Copies of this chain bind each other. A is one copy, B any other.
Amino acid sequence: MFNAVADVHRREILDALITGERTVGAIVDDLALPQPQVSKHLRVLSEVGLVRCRAEGRRRLYRLEPASLRPVQEWLAKYGRMVNDRLDRLDDYLKELQGQGGTP
């Protein structure tokens, strides 16, 4: 799951699916990646449940299954307040400023 999201191209594929269902070919065009690679990445994303496939004629429509991102979101949530709260680093900033002196 975390691993699936760790790959840039996989994230790009997910991003491309935000707007809705998309054909493999459409994704290929969007990302300018070779088609076999896109298929392989879609397979990985599919295996971890981040994406779902629906066949329509000879094309396959992939769509996001964003609920599968919840583990990531939940893990991140533990840090969420700290990430946003810039006051956490205020003392660090002060220390750094003191260490460097006012004018370089």
Contacts and interface: CB of A to CB of B under 8 A. Distances in A.
Interface of A: 2-3, 5-6, 8, 11, 14-15, 18, 64-67, 69-70, 72-73, 75-76, 78-80, 82-84, 86, 88-89
Number of copies of this chain that the complex holds: 2
Contact of A82 (B11, B66, B76, B78): B66
Contacts of A70: 83
Contacts of A64: 79, 82
Given A2-B11, A11-B2, A88 B66 contact: yes
A29 to B, nearest CB: 21
Given A66-B82, A69-B83, A86-B67, A75 B3 contact: no
